[in-house]
A = this chain, B = another copy of it.
Amino acid sequence: MATTSRRRGRGHDPESVLSAAVGVFNERGYDGTSMEDLARALGVTKSAIYYHVPGKEQLLARALDRALDGLFEVVADQRAATGPAIERLSWVVRHSVRVLVERLPYVTLLLRVRGNSATEVAALERRREFDRFVAALVKEAAAAGQIRAGLDPALVTRLLFGTVNSITEWYQPGRGTADDLADALLAMAFDGLRV
C-alpha cells in the first residue's frame, strides 16, 4: 500500500490535509464542519492545520478548483468539438461521469455549494459556464433532429446532468468502473429503460 497522504512516519502536508478535509466536509457539510472536527480527523490539534494551510476557506477553494478543472478538461477536449452533436454530447456525458468518479469527493463538494462566500460564488460561476457549454450542445443536437422531438433542450440538459450529478449522492468507490456507470446512464438516458 503506497503512502499517498503521509510523508514518512508521522507528519502531514498541504495535500494530506486537503484530502482529509474534503472527506469531512462531505460527511458533515462545509458549514457543519469545525476546524476542531478536521483536527480530530487528522489526529492533530487545530493549530497544526494552520501550519500547512492558510485556513478553512482556502481548503474549500482548492477543493472546488480541483473539481472544476477536471470538468473543464472535458469540454476543452477536441472530441467535444468534432462530429455529430449527439455523439459529442454522449462523449461529454461519459467523460463527465469519469471525472466525477475520479475526483468524487471534490465534485461532491462542488455540487453542494450554495454561494455563501466569495469563494463559493466564484465556483458557482465557473460551474454555470460548464452548464452553458452542455446546454449549447443539447440545443445543437435537438436542432439537428438527433433528439426526440417535443422535448425542450434546456429541460433535457438539466435532467441529463441532474442524472449525472446525482451519482455523487450514492456512488461508492470501487463498486463498478466509471465506464460501466456511464454505459448504464447513457443506455437509460439515450435509449430508454422500456423494452
Which residues of A line the B interface, CB within 8 A?
Answer: 27-29, 31-32, 86, 112, 114, 116, 145-152, 155-156, 158-163, 165-167, 169-170, 176, 181, 184-185, 187-195
Contact = CB atoms under 8 A, between A and B. Distances in A.
A19 B169 CA distance: 26
A162 B155 CA distance: 15
Contact of A116 (B32, B112, B165, B189): B32
A112 B159 CA distance: 18
> Within the oligomer, what is the number of copies of this chain?
2
Nearest to A161: B166
B188 A151 contact: yes
B187 A148 contact: yes
A62 to B, nearest CB: 20
28 contacts: A28-B116, A29-B31, A29-B114, A29-B116, A31-B31, A32-B114, A147-B195, A148-B191, A148-B194, A148-B195, A150-B187, A151-B184, A151-B187, A155-B176, A155-B184, A159-B163, A160-B188, A162-B162, A162-B166, A162-B169, A163-B163, A163-B166, A165-B166, A165-B169, A188-B192, A190-B192, A190-B193, A190-B194
